[in-house]
Amino acid sequence: MKHPEIYLDALDNLWFQVSGTLCNIVCEHCFISCSPVNHSFEFMSIAQVSAYLEESVKLGVKEYYFTGGEPFMNKEILDILERTLSIGPATVLTNSMLIRPHHAKRLKEISDSSIYSLEMRVSIDGYTEEMNDVIRGKGVFKKAMTGVKLLVDNGFLPIITITKTWQDKDDDKVLTGFMDTLKSYGYARPRLKILPSLKIGKEAVRTKGYDEYEFVTHEMLEDYEIRNLICANSRIATSKGVYVCPILIDSPDAKLGESLEESMTPYELKHQACYTCYLFGAICSNFSSTSHDA
C-alpha cells in the first residue's frame, strides 16, 4: 500500500536534537529510547547549530525548538540559546533536573536581553512522587520540581508537559492534582500541556504498541487540516543530518538530507506514529487542543 505523502507547506519551525539521544534518565515511555549511554545521535556543537541557523534565516524559519535527550547535558546549550535568540524565539524541552541556580540566572539574562521569547517546556508525568517516578525513575520528581521552582523564581512560566498515562475518567483528578502541586511550589498560574503517548521506542515495550490498522490512509486526509502535522511546517536538525520530524529520528528513511534545503521534500506517512499525530494534531508545538493554560 502506498501511503499518503505530505508536502512541506513552509519551513516555519526548526528543531534541534541538541543533545542527541543522550539523557540523564531512562523513562519507561521514551519514544526514542534515550539514556545516558544511547549514542545513536551525539550532542550538536554550537558550530553545527550555527550553520543551520544561518541557513534557516534564508529559508524564513520563524521559531526554534531544542530537544534531546536532555538539552542541559549539552555544555554549550546556554551559548546556543543566546545565539538563537539573536534571530528568533526559542523553546527548550527539558526534564529540568540539571538546571542549577546559575543556569536559571543566565537563562533569565539571555531572555531579558532578547527581543524574542524564550519558552521552557518541562516534562513531568505525575503530580506526586509515586505517580511520576514509576515512569521516569526513582528520585526524578523531586529534582524536576526543584528545576521548575528555579525557573519560576527567575520569572519563567514553564509549560509543564505531561504524557497521558491515565484513563479518561481520571482527567479532572489528574489536572487538579498537577495544578495544586505546582501551586505548592510557588507556580501561581501553571501552564499544562497533555501529550498522547507515541507507541514506539520504549513505549512500544511498555504498552502493546500500535494495532495493525493504525496507519494514516488517503481517505483520512480528505478535508483534514494538514498543517496540524508538524512535518507540514517543521524539520529537525541532528548530529547526523536533517530528519523529517522529532518523532521519527530512529527511522533511517526519515533522514531527508544534510542541509535544510535538501530536507524540503515530500514525505510518505508510512509510520504508525503518524497515526497518533493524525489523531491528536500539533502534539509537538507549544500550543494545541490538549494545552491548558490556567
* 14 contacts 234 by C-beta, under 8 angstroms: yes
248 near ligand SF4, judged by CB under 6 A: yes
123 near ligand SF4, judged by CB under 6 A: yes
CB of residue 171 to ligand SF4, shortest distance in Å: 21
Query: Site for ligand SF4 (CB under 6 A): which residue of 68, 126, 147, 281?
Result: 68
271 near ligand SF4, judged by CB under 6 A: yes
Query: Site for ligand SF4 (CB under 6 A): which residue of 11, 77, 194, 229?
Result: 229
Range in contact with ligand SF4 (rule: CB under 6 A) among 63-71, 82-90, 172-180, 203-211: 63-71
Closest to ligand SF4 by CB, 85 or 231: 231
Range in contact with ligand SF4 (rule: CB under 6 A) among 8-16, 74-82, 84-92, 241-249: 241-249
Q: What is the largest CA-CA distance in the chain?
A: 53
C-alpha 28/C-alpha 93 separation (Å) is: 18
Closest to ligand SF4 by CB, 114 or 193: 193
C-alpha 78/C-alpha 92 separation (Å) is: 11
C-alpha 10/C-alpha 173 separation (Å) is: 39
Q: At 169, is the secondary structure helix, strand, or coil?
A: helix
Please name the residue ranges forming H helices in the chain.
46-59, 77-84, 101-112, 129-136, 140-153, 171-184, 202-206, 273-280
User: x/- site string to ligand SF4, residues 13 to 42, per CB under 6 A?
Assistant: ----------x-xxx--x---x--------
C-alpha 178/C-alpha 172 separation (Å) is: 10
CB of residue 273 to ligand SF4, shortest distance in Å: 4
69 near ligand SF4, judged by CB under 6 A: yes
Cell of 235: 524539520
C-alpha 68/C-alpha 232 separation (Å) is: 21
Interacting residues with ligand SF4 (CB under 6 A): 23, 25-27, 30, 34, 68-70, 95, 123, 229-231, 244-245, 247-248, 267, 269, 271, 273-274, 277
